[in-house]
Structure 1
């Protein structure tokens, strides 16, 4: 079967059908915002009825070319190709740049996750490559981080305003047929928004299946209405000629520049289009916009312009005064508009979920509970003193410009295109985005201040959280220790031998690794046909005091975040209580970028060679899986340890987890702000406040409370 480039490489009928189905479902999530813009664009542009038909044609030309250049060319054809493991948005761009520049996001590299998925913290920059300008300059890294946090904050602000402006614009339609219901607009809008948020628990996948047919019907309806209106003044179709756009600027001067803020309303939702690709995929977005979204938008705006030329007074409520006033048709469109604007809100709610989740993964946001409702795709207000459309425009234009700057760097640093292409992209789209932003910034006193204030507050929270988290990681790295720093090297037990069965077999994989500068050689074994037994230290004595460390029956799990060296919790614990279980495990919980992890890939167990009964463990979980450290997990862990270390006498084959003493040791760190200037101290105190009010990572790991020990320790920063 012949395949177009836009379709997946696997061109089976099943794959094509699945992609087309996703493209249809994307209508219900991605395009609700931009699809409902015709409700308020022309009314937001014209304060008074226009007296010159050339102005209407010129503005229509601006709208058409803006929709063509920004959503279609910039986002659908270029920007969405810069996804990070299937996710979009400004934070995804930062993660993409960081990995390709060799920057470590979480304080460690995670090469063992390459067998499961391209986890965000894995750097794909070779050590042999010359460091790019991002890697070489700390200032550039800080500027990039500030830009992406501001962009993410603006998307959150956009999500705050979208339900208000979209739903209210639709509900206002009942005023045309029933003027006495004017006072019910705001209360009814509030009820609709509350119901919308109550429906989020059912997940993007289920919501999109319900919403997609509605948006499809909405797009078909506005296209038909547009065609019906175009017949009133067919000459509006000449607005496709960009001459009328430039003619409008020439004749109106500064007034023409101010109009750009209203034209920008036709582009609302473009950033959601990019951020929501994680809920679907890139090809689904490409397939859906051009044939199903772009034509209806152009037709409806043409139809509205034709009616304005015929009767300029309709600008007071353009959409509702340019649809058939026949009772059944009017109220059918009214109900459809209400449903469509609910969906418009959903697109930004989905984008807000994506941004929040990405921010947490990049350590830029406090931990909150995230419930994934789809195993196939990760990514699934009334302010009386504020001009909502103006505040809305500032958010949209700002995010568009930030995306342009970041993608300019991606084109050169990630896609490896010549600088000429980056400069060309920046020259074209920064000029366009900058013009839109400049136009909206003129109206900051009229409402634009709200978006900027909200974004600055959120960005400040993200910045302080990122800064504090970085300080904490740096402290752990600086104070990282190895077991030889804790125990004396004076007693050994065991024998040395080696058995190798079918050593040349491709299925047998064994490699020596250095555990992040621990100076502890371990063995990673993924096949059970190789057994290694070497001299091991079973008896432990504390270095310095010589105090003997008692080995108690049972299993002890010491949890650590970074996976580097020995957990600080263990060092703190052993100095105060010199006793450890016979089976001692340093464990890291690692989320990976796939929905589920097979049991064969769940555990990576590294046996610390010099010490008997001590292991390093990585437990990997997909984003759809609940993290569980219950007895079933312990049972699987014991089986793996027995496989790689059959000489471990403390783990008998007949022993069951429920019959053994199992201790889960978790860290409860207390940040202690050090003596410094008052600004730094205040920032640290706010960071502590965020920690105290954020969700504990292990709160839903199903750890038996009776077996849990919290080890408190002070972290001076």
Structure 2
């Protein structure tokens, strides 16, 4: 979703003089506030409250409050600031972040060696991707519900309207996705800027009344709490982790804004605002433990609660939008890398690259979120389901980052294991804590992640079997040309055959030759290849080779964040001597008809699911933007 092949911060440095550079950097920082920090920025709505309310043995006593605040402070410092902001954000794949970018960066460091390590990295990427979807379906529900629940702090009579109002907000948000977020996005940054300032001011106001709460910065308070609770501390960890959910977004969204604006926003505004608010809530709980149920909204006088509810609702909608946008972005990357079947992707902006909308994903996500809101009914009930997928994804990120440190940064493996092993300790503790919540809803993200994992692995295995089946009986293209003693009749125009391997004769070409017994004057074997980088420079877009007898091979390369465009690729061939004229070109596409086999290597469940996925995949001509009136599909039956 990044606008070009260079990190945005780098572009700013090169393209603007110094007096404009500050404005551009400030714009990136404000923009990052609206996209990157929505999830972690709305955690004060529920994180501290749930630590004392969600079936933990902690009472809101001063010692327990200080212990929780100390644990929370160091969790944010170690997990977010040191692990993600300082270390993992160094592992950018041409400016892009996220689990798939991290995995492709790691495999690229293998330089074609270490098959077992490559398989392990790919497996971690699939697990991380599956966990991301498990988290994404919960985040909009819990953030919007927690914000709207502030109405009950205004008047208890409003409690009956919380779920209906949350549903209206969420459904409207999903309905608006097809229109794009370019216009609304301009408001996101300023609103979140106000949000974090308000968080900090409200927290500082309460801290000023009870400054002794700042003693919690001392890690000994966390140690005392852990020693006091013993194994029971894991129940508290299951809620404290809510304060760091969304940390992975700092890395995943790096391609949007660049490393430096995200780091600057976190260190200068977001982290201070969050911690001040948490400590302010702690000071208020120590002063009046009875206020804990809606402690966030109790930070302001009664007359101003409605304004804080409105601002919190805006912030929760922005957090939900950021998650939805992230789902679209990661889904496109997964499709490009072959993890998921092709889906219709709509570009909602003519000027901003990366503004995309995937209808099928949008409606599936909306149905899941609506079901969660209706089924659980409150953010407190959903807190049991929240966290397991996030902490699992954090562990995956730590493992992949360690691989990158060894393979790409050339760290000694002992050093990498020590650094990332120590940083993974809090993640592991949080993961174990959230595993204890499986009966209370923690099963939900596991079920979603398991379904996604089953889908991804089934699709990859099935496509590999189909590719093997289709490659049987094909000849190397050069060998075919050598054997072609008497050329069939030639007709005017250009024929383009899409193929997975431009060096071999595709099945569609052989079918066309067998049944029509003619060849076009110019024949192009076109292979669209997805590279393990986010974007491919235009200078490297196509590779053209002339084979003689009117035959050419073209390899069009795209990054995993780019949308393949076959006509665009053919136009890029003009400097190589191929003049593309759409009205004189026919596109021949293979269309596989999958026939169930009684003895499928996939097994019955996987076989049927793979066939269903194949039927639901977008048409090749649509996905590759081939003009439908110039496309000819030739069928081929394959037993699976």
Considering the TM-score relative to the shorter chain, is it more than 0.5?
yes
Work out which of the residue numbers 425, 432, 448 in structure 1 matches 2:442.
Answer: 448
Work out which of the residue numbers 412, 420, 425 in structure 2 matches 1:426.
Answer: 420
Residue 438 of structure 2 is aligned to residue 438 of structure 1: no
Superposition pairs of residues 539-550 of structure 1, within 5 angstroms: 539-540=486-487, 549-550=488-489
Q: 1:37 Cα deviation (Å)? A: 0.7
Q: Residue 364 of structure 2 corresponds to which residue in structure 1?
A: none
Residue 161 of structure 2 is aligned to residue 184 of structure 1: yes
Q: 1:315 Cα deviation (Å)? A: 1.3
Work out which of the residue numbers 468, 484, 505 in structure 2 matches 1:566.
Answer: 505
Residue 518 of structure 2 is aligned to residue 579 of structure 1: yes
Does the CA-based 8 Å contact 1:49-1:312 persist in structure 2? no
Superposition pairs of residues 33-182 of structure 1, within 5 angstroms: 33-47=39-53, 50=59, 52-103=61-112, 131=113, 135-137=114-116, 140-182=117-159
When Rg is computed on C-alpha atoms for both structures, the one with the higher figure is: 1
Q: 5+ residue gaps in structure 2?
A: 1-7, 357-368
Q: Residue 550 of structure 2 corresponds to which residue in structure 1?
A: 613
Alignment partners' CA distance in 2, 1:351 and 1:642: 38
Alignment partners' CA distance in 2, 1:235 and 1:268: 27
Q: Residue 395 of structure 1 corresponds to which residue in structure 2?
A: 389
Q: Residue 240 of structure 2 corresponds to which residue in structure 1?
A: 263
Residue 269 of structure 2 is aligned to residue 292 of structure 1: yes
Residue 29 of structure 2 is aligned to residue 23 of structure 1: yes
Q: 1:39 Cα deviation (Å)? A: 0.7
Does the CA-based 8 Å contact 1:558-1:567 persist in structure 2? yes
Q: Secondary structure at the match of 1:663?
A: strand
Q: Secondary structure at the match of 2:554?
A: strand
Does the CA-based 8 Å contact 1:150-1:459 persist in structure 2? yes
Question: C-alpha root-mean-square deviation of aligned residues, in Å?
Answer: 3.0
Alignment partners' CA distance in 2, 1:481 and 1:578: 18
Does the CA-based 8 Å contact 1:556-1:585 persist in structure 2? yes
Superposition pairs of residues 633-652 of structure 1, within 5 angstroms: 641=577
Q: Residue 667 of structure 1 corresponds to which residue in structure 2?
A: 590
Q: 1:595 Cα deviation (Å)? A: 7.6
Residue 322 of structure 2 is aligned to residue 347 of structure 1: yes
Residue 193 of structure 2 is aligned to residue 193 of structure 1: no
Q: Residue 553 of structure 1 corresponds to which residue in structure 2?
A: 492
Alignment partners' CA distance in 2, 1:668 and 1:576: 16
Residues 49, 70 of structure 1: alpha-carbon distance in 2 compared, 3 angstrom cutoff? closer
Q: Residue 110 of structure 1 corresponds to which residue in structure 2?
A: none
Alignment partners' CA distance in 1, 2:143 and 2:60: 28
Work out which of the residue numbers 239, 245, 250 in structure 1 matches 2:216.
Answer: 239
Q: Residue 335 of structure 1 corresponds to which residue in structure 2?
A: 310
Superposition pairs of residues 669-684 of structure 1, within 5 angstroms: 669-674=592-597, 676=599, 680-684=603-607
Q: Give per-residue Cα distances to partners, 1:196-237, cap 9 Å, x unaligned.
A: 223334545544321111011011111111011112321000
TM-score (norm: length of structure 2): 0.87
Is 245-254 or 614-623 further displaced after alignment?
Answer: 614-623
Q: Give per-residue Cα distances to partners, 1:168-223, cap 9 Å, x unaligned.
A: 11111111122111110001001111222233345455443211110110111111
Residues 395, 706 of structure 1: alpha-carbon distance in 2 compared, 3 angstrom cutoff? closer
Q: Secondary structure at the match of 1:556?
A: strand
Residue 565 of structure 2 is aligned to residue 627 of structure 1: yes
Residue 618 of structure 2 is aligned to residue 695 of structure 1: yes
Residues 85, 674 of structure 1: alpha-carbon distance in 2 compared, 3 angstrom cutoff? farther
**Structure with more relative contact order (C-alpha pairs < 8 Å, separation 6 or more):** 2
Q: 1:145 Cα deviation (Å)? A: 2.6
Q: Residue 375 of structure 2 corresponds to which residue in structure 1?
A: 384
Q: Residue 460 of structure 1 corresponds to which residue in structure 2?
A: 454
Q: 1:322 Cα deviation (Å)? A: 2.6
Does the CA-based 8 Å contact 1:268-1:396 persist in structure 2? yes
Alignment partners' CA distance in 2, 1:223 and 1:274: 24
Q: Give per-residue Cα distances to partners, 1:101-138, cap 9 Å, x unaligned.
A: 235xxxxxxxxxxxxxxxxxxxxxxxxxxx3xxx242x
Q: Secondary structure at the match of 1:87?
A: coil
Q: 1:373 Cα deviation (Å)? A: 4.8
Q: How many aligned positions are there?
A: 605
Q: 1:335 Cα deviation (Å)? A: 1.0
TM-score (norm: length of structure 1): 0.78
Q: Residue 366 of structure 2 corresponds to which residue in structure 1?
A: none
Residues 596, 83 of structure 1: alpha-carbon distance in 2 compared, 3 angstrom cutoff? closer
Alignment partners' CA distance in 1, 2:28 and 2:93: 19
Alignment partners' CA distance in 2, 1:312 and 1:412: 49
Does the CA-based 8 Å contact 2:478-2:503 persist in structure 1? no
Does the CA-based 8 Å contact 1:155-1:395 persist in structure 2? yes
Q: Residue 199 of structure 2 corresponds to which residue in structure 1?
A: 222
Q: Residue 357 of structure 1 corresponds to which residue in structure 2?
A: 332
Alignment partners' CA distance in 2, 1:312 and 1:407: 42
Q: Give per-residue Cα distances to partners, 1:385-419, cap 9 Å, x unaligned.
A: 48311211111111111111111111101211111
Is 455-464 or 41-50 further displaced after alignment?
Answer: 41-50
Q: 1:29 Cα deviation (Å)? A: 0.8
Q: Residue 314 of structure 1 corresponds to which residue in structure 2?
A: 291
Residues 579, 95 of structure 1: alpha-carbon distance in 2 compared, 3 angstrom cutoff? same
Q: Secondary structure at the match of 2:638?
A: strand
